[in-house]
Structure 1
């Protein structure tokens, strides 16, 4: 059963955020992630407003969790620290 990362992101320091952008794809490739949405155009109907919204599909919940915990993603996350406001949820698909 597929699983998904739902991420909401507001970049606060674009030059520092490039470190995350250069490292994160390695983690996503390793865990067979497929980007379904990565857009800026959106309507925030409830809750906080973020600049970007990302929907990433993984083969299963275990892969989604393993990707987040992986050394590759944690290195990317460390590069992102202080450069963006982020909310990420992992959820099981139907």
Structure 2
């Protein structure tokens, strides 16, 4: 099951450290088969508000995403971003190709899951 590293970044500044982070991050992702799916384009907000930008990185699975995040190579460059950009980062498991939201609704109706167990939208 694929997993994702999702970042909601706010108050971005193009500090030299951030540019170095951008130059080095791909080398930290390659051993974990991580790839950028979204990397900071302006979003078209159709509901609510969305200050900032987003980054979405895909990994083969959640264990691999976790291993990348705690890897010495990534931890070595992390402060280059966090010292200059405010944001939230989460690692989350994706849904498989056969995911059907109707099955999720049926489980919730039957009381077999909590609202925090999975995707709603």
The answer (yes or no) to whether the contact 1:27–1:72 under 8 Å persists in 2 is: yes
What SS class does the counterpart of residue 41 from structure 1 fall into?
A: coil
In 1, the alpha carbon distance for the partners of 2:3 and 2:73 equals 19
Give structure 1 stretches of 5+ with no counterpart.
none
Query: Which residue of the partner structure matches residue 80 of structure 2?
Result: 79
Task: Work out whether 1:60 is the aligned partner of 2:83.
Answer: no
Task: Work out whether 1:8 is the aligned partner of 2:8.
Answer: yes
Query: Which residue of the partner structure matches residue 36 of structure 2?
Result: 35
1:25 Cα deviation (Å)? Answer: 1.2
Q: 1:47 to 1:68 in 2, by over 3 A?
A: farther
Give structure 2 stretches of 5+ with no counterpart.
96-121
Larger radius of gyration: 2
Q: TM-score, normalised by structure 2?
A: 0.67
CA displacement, residues 8-53 of structure 1 (integer Å, 9 cap, x when unaligned): 2232343221121122111111110121111321145446611x21
Whose strand proportion is higher, 1 or 2?
1
Deviates more, 1:60-69 or 1:30-39: 30-39
Report 1 or 2 for greater relative contact order, CA contacts < 8 Å, sequence distance ≥ 6.
1
Q: 1:3 to 1:40 in 2, by over 3 A?
A: same
